[in-house]
Amino acid sequence: MKELIKVRDLNLHFKELHVLKSINMEIYDKTVTSVIGPSGCGKSTYLRCFNRMNDLKDAAIDGEIILDEENIYSRATDVTSLRMKVGMVFQKPNPFPKSIFENTAFGLKIQGKMKGSEIEGRVEQSLRDVWLWDEVKDRLKDSAMSLSGGQQQRLCMARALATNPEIILLDEPTSALDPRSTNKIEELCVELKKEVTILIVTHNIAQAARISDYTAFLYLGELVEYGETKLMFTVPKDKKTEEYISGKFG
Amino acid sequence: MKTKEFLFKYITLAAASLSILFLMGIILSIFKEGLPLFNDINFSDFIFGRKWHPTDEPADLGIFPLISGSIFVTLGALLVGVPLGVGSAIYLSEIASTNVREALKPFIEILAGIPSVIYGLFGMAVLAPLVRKLFNVPTGLNLFSASIILGIMIIPIISSLSEDALSAVSKELREASLALGANRIETIFKVVLPAASSGVISSIILGFGRAIGETMVVLMVSGGAAMLPKSIFSPVRPMTSAIASEMGEAVNGSQHFQALYGIAIVLFLITFLSSLLMQWFAGRENRE
Ligand SMILES: Nc1ncnc2c1ncn2[C@@H]1O[C@H](COP(=O)(O)OP(=O)(O)O)[C@@H](O)[C@H]1O
Ligand SMILES: [Mg+2]
C-alpha cells in the first residue's frame, strides 16, 4: 500500500489545552480511513490539521504532516493550493446560497486556471461522481438551497471534488442526515476511493466498520490504536479500543 | 379576570390601530390639500415642468428642478454613504478584532444620534467654506456639500444594518469557502456579502429613504436654487427644502399652497415605494 500522507509527532494545543498528543500515522492512498472516538477526543481538530483549518483558530501546532514529500506546515506551503489538494466536507451540509452550478464551480473559479467550458465539464463530472447529475442536470441554475439535506451534502462533496483533490476529509458527514441519505453517502465513499483517498470522522462505530479499510481510534487526544478495520474490529489490541467498539463507553 | 384581559386586549389593539390611523390621516390631508391643484394644471406639467416660479403672475409650477435636486442630492449621498457604510460594516464584522469592534461601534451609534440641524451647522460652517475655497466655486452651499453631509448622515444606518446582515452569515459558510481555498478577502466578497445581500440592499434603501426625506440639512447646505443643476457645484433646492422654506409664505388654499402639498404627495409616493421595496428585499431572505 502506497502512503499518501505521513503524520509525524503531531501535537496541538489550544492555549493550555493539549488536544492532540504526539500522533504518528500513515494514510494510505485510495483507501477509506475512519477516525473514531468519543465526543471531545479531538477528532474534528485532528481532521482540520490536514487542510490547516486550525490556522484560523489560535492553535499551536508542532510536528509534521507530509503530503507529496512536503510538510504542509512548512513556511513554503501555499495554503490555497493545499486546500485544493485536500478537500473538506462538514458535519452539516453547508452549500452556498448560490446556484447548484456556482456551488460546484466555486473552487475552480477561485483557482482561476480554467476556461468556462472546462469548468462546465468539470462541474458535470463532479456532480456525476456524487450521483447527483441526473437529479440536477435540468436545474443547475436553481439555488442549492432547494435541494434536500442529503442532496446538499452530496453537492458539498462534489464541490470538494471539483478541484481534483488527492484526499477529502469528511467530518461526521451523515450525522445530520436521514438513514437513506446516510446509506447513499456511505456507498459513495466506497465508490469514490477508486479516485480519491478518504479520511472520515465518524461517531458511528458501525459506519466505520462498514466503509473503512483502516480505522484510527482516538482517545483523549492520543492515537490509541490504528490499523486495518477488519483486524481492529475482530481482535483489538488495546483494552480501551475493545471497550469503545463494543459500546461500553462513548 | 375576564374583563381585565378583555380591557388589555382592546387597549393594546387601540394603540396598534393608532399608527394606522395617523398614517391614514396624513395621507388624507396631503391628498385633500394637494389634489385640487390638478384641476388647474395637469400632472405631467407639474412633474416635468422646468420652471418653479410659484409667486409669479401667472405662476410656473413645474417641480422638475426640485425633483432633480432631491434625486441628485440623494444619489450623491449614496455615493458617499454606501461605500463608507458598507465598508465600515465589513470592517467591523469581518476584520476587526472583538476589542476594536466594541470600541468603534459606540462612535457609529453616536453619529446616528446627532440631530440633523447639527449636521447642517457643520455643513454651513466648516464644509461649505472649504468646498468654496478648494474648488474655487461661487458658493459652497451646493449639491456637492449637501451630498457629503447627507452621505455622512446615512453611514450609521447603512453600517449598522449591513453589519447585522453580515454577522448573521453562518460560520459554516465561511469555513466552506476557506476550505475550498478562498482567502479571507475572496470569502468576504464571494460568499459573505452575497449571502448578506438582502440585508445590505435593504440598509441601502433605508439610507435612500432617510436621505431623500431629510429636510434640515438640505435647507441649510444645498443652496436653495430651484433650478436644474448644471454641475455638481450648483446650488439646488430639493423637494423637502422647498416645502419647508415656502410653506410659511404661501397663502392658505392658494395654488402655491396646493403645489407644495402636491410636492408632498410626490415625496410620499417615493418614500412609500422605497419602503415597499425594502420590505420585499428584507423578506427575500426568509423566502429563499
Ligand atoms: N477553537 C478552540 N479553542 C479551544 N478549544 C477548542 C477549540 N476547538 C476545539 N477545542 C477543544 O478541543 C477538544 C477536541 O475538540 P474536537 O476536535 O471538536 O472533538 P471531537 O470532534 O472529537 O468531538 C475539545 O475539548 C474542545 O473543547
Ligand atoms: Mg467533532
A201 Cβ contact partners less than 8 Å away, ≥ 6 residues apart = A34, A35, A36, A43, A44, A46, A47, A169, A170, A171, A172
Specify burial of residue A38 (Cβ count, 10 A radius: 0-12, 13-18, 19+): middle
CA distance A159 to chain B (A): 8
Run of H or E including B118: helix B116-122
Tell me the CA–centroid distance for residue A199 and ligand 2, in Å. Answer: 14
Q: How far does residue B263's CA lie from ligand 2's centre (Å)?
A: 62
Check: CB of residue A69 under 8 Å from CB of residue A85.
no
Q: Which residues are CB-neighbours of A101 under 8 A, at least 6 positions away?
A: A123, A140, A141
Nearest-neighbour CA in chain B from A166: distance (Å): 13
Angle at which helices A100-111 and A116-129 pack, to 10 degrees? 120
Question: Which amino acid, B48?
Answer: F
- Residue A35 Cα to ligand 1 middle (Å): 15
Dihedral sign, Cα of residue A201, residue A205, residue A209, residue A210: negative
Cβ atoms within 10 Å, residue B59: 16
| CA B140 from centroid of its chain's CA atoms | 22
Q: Could you tell me where the DSSP H helices lie in chain A?
A: 43-49, 79-85, 100-111, 116-129, 133-136, 149-161, 179-192, 205-211, 229-234, 239-245
Looking at the partner chain, which of A98, A107, A143 has a beta carbon nearest the beta carbon of B180?
A: A107
Q: How confident is the model at residue B288 (pLDDT cuts 50, 70, 90)?
A: very low
Q: Are the CB atoms for B34 and B264 separated by under 8 Å? A: yes
pLDDT greater than 60 at residue B271: yes
Ligand 2 centre and the CA of B185: distance in Å?
27
- Find chain A residues with C-beta within 8 A of B180's C-beta: 83-84, 87, 106-107, 110, 159-160, 163
Distance between CA atoms of B144 and B153, rounded to whole angstroms? 14
Residue B53 CA to chain centroid, in angstroms? 26
What is the four-CA torsion angle of B66, B67, B70, B73, rounded to 10 degrees?
-90
Q: What's the grid cell of residue B143? A: 449639491
**Mean pLDDT across the stretch B270-288?**
79
Q: Helix B255-287 to helix B2-34 angle, to the nearest 10 degrees?
A: 130
Q: What's the predicted TM-score (pTM) here? A: 0.87
* CA proximity to B38, closest of B259, B194, B198: B259
Topology at the third CATH level for domain B46-287? MetI-like fold (1.10.3720)
- Give the three-class secondary structure for A171: strand
Superfamily assignment of A3-245 in CATH? P-loop containing nucleotide triphosphate hydrolases (3.40.50.300)
Residues in chain B: 288
B180 contacts chain A (CB < 8 A): yes
Per-residue pLDDT of chain A (250 residues; tens, 9 = 90+): 799 999 999 999 999 999 999 999 999 999 999 999 999 999 999 999 999 999 877 899 999 999 999 999 999 999 999 999 999 999 999 999 999 999 999 999 999 999 999 999 999 999 999 999 999 999 999 999 999 999 999 999 999 999 999 999 999 999 999 999 999 999 999 999 999 999 999 999 999 999 999 999 999 999 999 999 999 999 999 999 999 998 888 7
Q: Which of B161, B255, B242, B254 lies closest to B200, judged by CA? A: B161
pLDDT for position A232: 94
Residues B208 and B288: beta-carbon distance below 8 Å: no
What residue spans define the domains of chain A?
3-245
Residue A167, phi then psi, degrees to nearest 5: -145, 145
pLDDT for the residue A132: 96
CA distance A183 to B70: 62
Q: Which residues contact A221 (CB under 8 A, 6 or more apart)?
A: A18, A19, A20, A21, A41, A42
Residues of B within 8 A of A156 (CB-CB) are: 176
Nearest to B123 by CA among B215, B212, B220: B220
Of B180, B195, B288, the CB nearest to A110: B180
User: Do A56 and B180 make contact, defined as CB atoms within 8 angstroms?
Assistant: no
Position B1 scores a pLDDT of: 64
CA dihedral for B166, B171, B177, B181, sign (positive or negative): positive
Using a CB-CB distance cutoff of 8 angstroms, which residues of chain A are in contact with residue B175? 53, 56, 90, 94
Q: How far is B129 from B195, CA to CA, in rounded Å?
A: 43
pLDDT digits (tens, 9 = 90+) for B233-251: 999 999 999 999 999 999 9
Closest CA relative to residue B152, chosen from B217, B229, B223: B217
- More confident call, A10 vs B286: A10
- What's the CA gap between A110 and A119, in Å, rounded? 12
Looking up cell 425594502, which residue turns up? B278
Neighbouring CB atoms inside 10 A of B113's CB total 7
Q: What grid cell was written down for A47?
A: 481532521
Confidence of residue B281 (pLDDT cuts 50, 70, 90): confident
What's the residue count for chain A? 250
> Are A159 and B180 a contacting pair at CB < 8 A?
yes
Are A168 and A161 spatial neighbours (Cβ–Cβ below 8 Å)?
yes
Q: Where are the beta strands (DSSP E) in chain B?
A: 52-53, 60-61
Q: What is the arithmetic mean of pLDDT over B75-90? A: 97
Give dist(CA B158, CA B82) in Å, integer: 7
**Average predicted confidence (pLDDT) for chain B:** 93
Helix axes B64-90, B143-167, angle to 10 degrees: 40
Q: What is the pLDDT of residues B156-184, one digit of tens each?
A: 999 999 999 999 999 999 999 999 999 99
pLDDT at residue A115, rounded to an integer: 92
The SS3 call for residue B124 is helix
CB A8 within 8 A of CB A67: no
**3 state DSSP class of A224:** strand
Residue in chain A lying closest to B197 (CA): A97
